[in-house]
Each structure stands twice: as C-alpha cells, then as structure tokens.
Amino acid sequence: MTDTAPDDALLVELRVPEDAAGMRLDVFLTSLDELPFSRSRLQGAISRGEVTLNGKSAQKAGARLRAQDLICCAIPPPPLPNADPEDIPLDVLFEDEHVLVLNKPPGLVVHPAPGHPSGTLVNALAFRCRRLPGEDGSLRPGIVHRLDKDTSGVMVACKSTLALQTLAAQFAAHTIERRYIALCAGNHLPPEGTFNTGHSRDPHHRLRFTGRLDTERRAITHYRVLLPIPPHLALVACTLQTGRTHQIRVHHAEANAPILGDELYGKPHPLLARQALHADLLGFQHPDGRWLRFQVPLPQDLRDALRALGADFT
C-alpha cells in the first residue's frame, strides 16, 4: 500500500479467493463492492501505485491473479464540488493579500473529506476570502499544510497564487520553522533527542502510520523535555525537520511515550477529549521576502489538564 496515500483514501486489503484465480487485476477490482470506481479509474489507480500485489506496486492492470494473492488498495475518493462558503469564526493572527495566519482550535477539520463535507477551515476561508488559489475543483484551496482535526495551533493559508507557490516550495525544502508542544507519557525519555525513522502506513491498522518499516521515506522529529511531571508524564517540545502525517504522534507512541488522549496511537485520558498536541510556533518567509514568526499559547483545555496534574507551566 502506498505510504503517500491521503488520510481520506479508501483502504481495502484482501486475499484473492480461489474462484478469482486467473482474473485480470483490474477486472477483479471492478467486481468488488468495496471499490465503487469504474474500471478506468482503477486502472489509473494501479498505474499511480495506489494498488499493491503481494507487497509490491502492482503497476500492470492486466496482471493475472493467483489464489491467496494479497491485494492492498489506498485510493483517494473522487473530487467533490468546491467547498461552499460558511461563516465560521476564525482566530486570525495576521492577514494581508497573500497569506492568512490563524490559531486553529481543536475539533476543526482543515479541508472537506468523506465524513466531513462541511464545517471545515476551507469552508471558512471560502467565506472570508473572495478567491483562493487552487479553487478550480480543489477541495484544498489555499492549503499548503494542515493540522489533524484534534490538534490545535498556528497555521498559515495562502490567498494568492504567489503565496501558494512560495510556501509550498518552503514546505518541500523543509525550511519552515515548526514547533509543537505535547503532553505525553514520557518520563523515561532523555532530556532531548531526535527520532529519525521511516514513515509508511501501518499494514496492520488502516488508519495508522508507522516508523518501523524499511522505507526510504524519512520522518525526523527533534524533541526537548520542557517539564517532567511526576510520576510518569512529561511536557515536550517537538521541532519538525520533516512533516509527515501523524509524525509526532507516531514517534512518541513507538518510543513508548504516547501523547495523552491520542486514541488512535494510545488510549483515552480522563482529563482530555483529544490528543494533547498543540502547534505553538510557525515561521516562514513571506512572498515579499520578510521572515514571519508566530507563536500561540497553550489552549485552555491543555492548561486545565496540566493544572489538574499539578504542573506549573506558563
């Protein structure tokens, strides 16, 4: 399964039954109720590496199947219409004709996807801004990065094509300054360190990613313990060198230091209704050449959790 598949990809994993032996791969996939796509769409998915056969990219739509072959698919859904404008309040930190910087609250989805067709940041931007770059059929106009639904903190959205190109190049080159604050079960972590792993989808859990598989796609997080919280917790600052999906959550979970409240990679916590992860700092070069840097404090729910744990962090 491709490790670059978006979070909203339709994921299917199955073994080829005896009665499908000898069938073409594309014909077999077209027959599956789990994949509501045309044969030509599935052929395109195969050519793009969105389908694997026995752990390797299938590549050939006409490949003949054998009984018990393992097929894994991660196929993005068909594009939906442009997001409708919605009057959703935003905590705006900075805005000009090129960029809009905001403090995203937990619970706000960044862009429309199956299960979240409205009420997203993109809907709010469509209402606030007359026009956004990439609107022609895109569900992510103006979006060059995102935060998970339940991660809070500072984000930038692009209002001009120049900004979209400039910021996209900076994210690709890893020159953006990004720091996150995480509350985790990390009393055993050294005071500072670096997680440097591969990054791919977890073959045993469709919604998760993992750093434990051999892949050239790297995920690098530098961390520093800000505040040990006895008996077994820590408040940690994480600086991203790369920006992979769920990167910080994966690194902490696989270091046996899961982020509190992260139900996907850990377990719920009575003090939190979401994972305790906050993007507190973002720095980037504006299209006019200025370096802009924004920092936002911990939101109320994380401050309340720290207070309940007897931690003093301001």
Question: Does the annotation count 148 as an active-site position?
Answer: yes
The CATH number of the structural domain formed by 92-170 is 3.30.2350.10
pLDDT band at 82 (very low <50, low <70, confident <90, very high): low
- The mean per-residue pLDDT over the stretch 286-304 comes to 97
What residue type is assigned to position 290 of the chain?
R
Q: What is the pLDDT of residue 114?
A: 67
pLDDT band at 201 (very low <50, low <70, confident <90, very high): confident
Which is catalytic among the residues 3, 26, 69, 148? 148
- The mean per-residue pLDDT over the stretch 49-64 comes to 91
Nearest to 120 by CA among 95, 136, 138, 96: 138
CATH class assigned to 10-75: alpha beta
Per residue in 233-268, pLDDT (tens digit) is 999 999 999 988 899 999 999 999 999 999 999 999
Q: What is the pLDDT of residue 4?
A: 47
- The mean per-residue pLDDT over the stretch 189-214 comes to 88
Spatial CB neighbours of 290, under 8 Å, sequence gap ≥ 6: none
- The mean per-residue pLDDT over the stretch 150-175 comes to 93
- DSSP class per residue in 40-80: HHHHHHHHTT-EEETTEE---TTPBP-TT-EEEEEEPPPPP
- Is the per-residue pLDDT at 8 higher than 60? no
Same fold, 10-75 and 92-170: no
pLDDT band at 187 (very low <50, low <70, confident <90, very high): confident
Distances (CA, A) of 288 to 81, 98, 166, 170: 32, 9, 10, 14
CB atoms within 10 A of CB 175: 11
- Is the per-residue pLDDT at 81 higher than 70? no
- Is the per-residue pLDDT at 310 higher than 60? yes
Q: How many whole angstroms separate alpha carbon 254 and alpha carbon 289?
A: 39
* Domain residue ranges in the chain: 10-75, 92-170, 177-308
Q: How many whole angstroms separate alpha carbon 42 and alpha carbon 260?
A: 39
Superfamily of chain region 177-308: Pseudouridine synthase (3.30.2350.10)
Task: Answer whether 119's CB lies under 8 Å from 109's CB.
Answer: yes
- Is the per-residue pLDDT at 139 higher than 70? no
pLDDT band at 5 (very low <50, low <70, confident <90, very high): low
Per residue in 98-109, pLDDT (tens digit) is 999 999 999 999
Summary mean pLDDT of the chain: 89
Nearest to 41 by CA among 58, 26, 25, 59: 26
- Is the per-residue pLDDT at 3 higher than 80? no
Q: Which pTM value belongs to this model?
A: 0.76
- DSSP class per residue in 242-289: S--TTHHHHHHHHTT-PBTT-TTTS--BTTBSS--EEEEEEEEE-TTS
The CA R_g of the chain, rounded to the nearest whole Å, is 21
